[in-house]
Structure 1
Amino acid sequence: MTQNATSAAPACVFCAIVARQAEASLVYEDETVIAFMSLHPVTPGHLLVVPRKHAVGLEDLDTATGAHVWSVGHDMSRALRRSDLPCEGINIFLCDGEVAFQTVFHFHLHVIPRYPDDGWTIVPDEVEVERSLLDNHAQTLKAAIAQSD
């Protein structure tokens, strides 16, 4: 696939990997996505599933490609479980936007194998919210869904 066909963004490291202009430890590829080992893994076996076509975040990703990314993420999770890496769990992690910890602005899905005492944590401050506020948020989202139909 040519760089033009992938709608590559200038200076995007993932577009460079897709175009074979940057190195990556490739695990899987097809006409829509590639999967490769994370250069900065939080646990051994941490990999990324990346669409070939440049999309910054979820809003920029077409539905079919998005579904395929998740499907390949599922396949990669299965492969991790069946591999010789002794993982006992999997986190599927998506960062969409800078405030959501996205650092490479080309959509990508993290598939993170988990091991006992691996040291990586996600510990949110959980606060119970009043039902009326939850109902209000639900109505706001329903309105947004209706606008996109």
Structure 2
Amino acid sequence: MSDANCIFCRIVAGEIPATVVARNEHALAFRDLHPQAPSHLLVIPVRHVDSLASADNTAELGAVLSLAAEVARAEGLAEAGYRVVTNIGGDGGQTVQHLHFHVLGGRQMHWPPG
């Protein structure tokens, strides 16, 4: 099920262009339009899920995270390391109400993140 007003659902449907790098049955990975690292990919479920707080399908979550690891390897990030982040709700910094994981790498990640 999709949300007609959701930008990520529209990307999944092909209505909005994106630089897609990988896809599986449950997930889609594409380049972030405003990268915060040399490699910055977004990995989303193809089905609309508001956030991790409302995710209820463990097979789907597993497929999304598996694709995140796959694209990190394809980007050459696995050996040096990378970060996978999801934001939940307003205080968590979520700006698009569709579950998404940021895969960031290609530079030293600092802690705390923000």
Scaled by the length of structure 2, the TM-score of the pair is 0.87
Aligned 1:115-134 pairs, distance under 5 A: 115-116=107-108, 121-123=110-112
Deviation at 1:76, TM superposition (A): 1.4
- 8 Å contact from structure 1 (residues 91, 114) kept in 2: no
* Equivalent runs, 1:11-30 vs 2, <5 Å: 11-30=5-24
2:32 pairs with 1:38: yes
Q: Distance in 2 between matches of 1:24 and 1:111?
A: 16
Identity among equivalent positions (%) equals 34
Question: Does the Cα contact within 8 Å between 1:58 and 1:96 map onto a contact in 2?
Answer: yes
TM score, norm. by length of structure 1: 0.68
Correspondence 1:111 to 2:103: yes
Q: C-alpha displacement at 1:97, in angstroms?
A: 1.4
Cα pair distance change 1:103/1:76, threshold 3 Å: same
Distance 2:94 2:113 in 1: 17
Q: Which one has a larger percent strand, Structure 1 or Structure 2?
A: 2
- Please state if 1:66 is matched with 2:61: yes
- The count of aligned residue pairs is 113
Residue 92 (structure 2) aligned to one of 92, 97, 100: 100
Q: Given that residues 43 and 112 in structure 1 are in contact (C-alpha distance below 8 angstroms), is that contact kept between their aligned partners in structure 2? A: yes
Runs of 5+ unmatched residues, structure 1: 1-6, 126-149
Distance in 2 (alpha carbons) for counterparts of 1:10 and 1:122:
37
Amino acid paired to 2:87: C
Structure index of larger Rg? 1
